[in-house]
Structure 1
């Protein structure tokens, strides 16, 4: 069994300037993901895919590898994660390095825990007909009871058919926790759909999940990190 960690970290973040190398609780954000990957003992290589020399320099200093420069067409606002991972695996294959499993770890996942990374690999290994296993968490409220605003700014039920349903009678819905995505390397290279019945869940507690896209997200993540650290819940 061989595993590679692939950490996408492009330059040019617009909503949070320098997001991937900005200090989070005193440590560059990218450094945290690299450290978790290295300390997990799950990977033969930890590779950062970037187009940015400053990010590459930090990645190397933290012990990761940067064996290629990500092309510009995969480093804009429209490049998807799956395409970035497939590109990395293809380049590594051309360099003579092949892996059975590849785990995409986001650079902005400061609440990432090794135990969940391990669960993901174990789940995938235990289900040979599945292609992926990735982090999810339950929504805090039934999505079927969501509200939206109409053109007049008034509230409307997003799913009117569930307007009178009791919350406890509705199935739990899950969201992508945006931390990690295990996959068989061939599934990544073949472009298989990530959100499909061929994927397995690694269910995280909601209080260990915070996507980081805005300054408000960042602040909330720092509050969560401090509280979890003080409570001894983080590794």
Structure 2
């Protein structure tokens, strides 16, 4: 079966309880759950959490919580891949026959079913290890500036600072939304998400918003409302 796994721990430093904080009328966690279920290629959505309130809300919106995440995998230092590997192992021990697994982040209200479905198709078409959502930097990173210790300015890349934007290679960043791979690939620690056999699913800027601060949160709400109006 194909599943989506959503890591959603209870602790959040910068925005308290952000995984279940109200976002445009629903808990934040509801959005990726609904998108995955609407994609048509995800059989089950599993939420990996250490928090019973999050677990209850996840179930209300159609996800399953077959196990509670251990505290040692819910601290500030555990990476996402370790959490996904733990979830896959737990589900396999429960007898789940897993083929492909998507990791969806909990704070992804702009993620939609089409993106999830397209990422899966791209994974199959390219026989890639991973396919993940990304976005292009709007400004050439080669022309970035650094502050010196004395408060002055120096170029990040002196060889590129004077070049035209069109002469510089485009650069991309992880959108922090969606990661597709087979269960076997997730469990193989020698295969990295950002590796040579991975592929990017490049999204337009209006579908990408990291949510780490309250300003990020408000910007995401504005984008979400505009997208809703566009599709009304």
Interval containing the TM-score (normalised by the shorter chain): over 0.9
State the match for 2:166 in structure 1: 168
In structure 1, distance between residues paired with 2:150 and 2:229: 46
RMSD (CA atoms): 1.1
In structure 2, distance between residues paired with 1:70 and 1:22: 20
Where does 1:92-111 land on structure 2 (aligned, <5 Å)? 92-111=91-110
Contact 2:37–2:43 (CA under 8 A) maintained in structure 1: no
State the match for 1:72 in structure 2: 71
Where does 1:196-207 land on structure 2 (aligned, <5 Å)? 196-207=195-206
State the match for 1:10 in structure 2: 9
Task: Map Cα deviations across residues 11-52 of structure 1 (whole Å, 9 max, x no partner).
Answer: 010100000000001110001111111111211111000000
User: Aligned with 2:174: secondary structure?
Assistant: strand
Structure 1: 5+ residue stretches without partners: none
Contact 1:89–1:98 (CA under 8 A) maintained in structure 2: no
In structure 1, distance between residues paired with 2:215 and 2:120: 32
TM-score normalized with structure 2 length: 0.97
State the match for 2:135 in structure 1: 137
Where does 1:23-102 land on structure 2 (aligned, <5 Å)? 23-102=22-101
Structure 1 runs of 4+ with >2 Å offset: none
In structure 2, distance between residues paired with 1:184 and 1:8: 17
Deviation, structure 1 residue 215: 1.0
In structure 2, distance between residues paired with 1:153 and 1:67: 53
Structure 2: 5+ residue stretches without partners: none
State the match for 1:158 in structure 2: 156
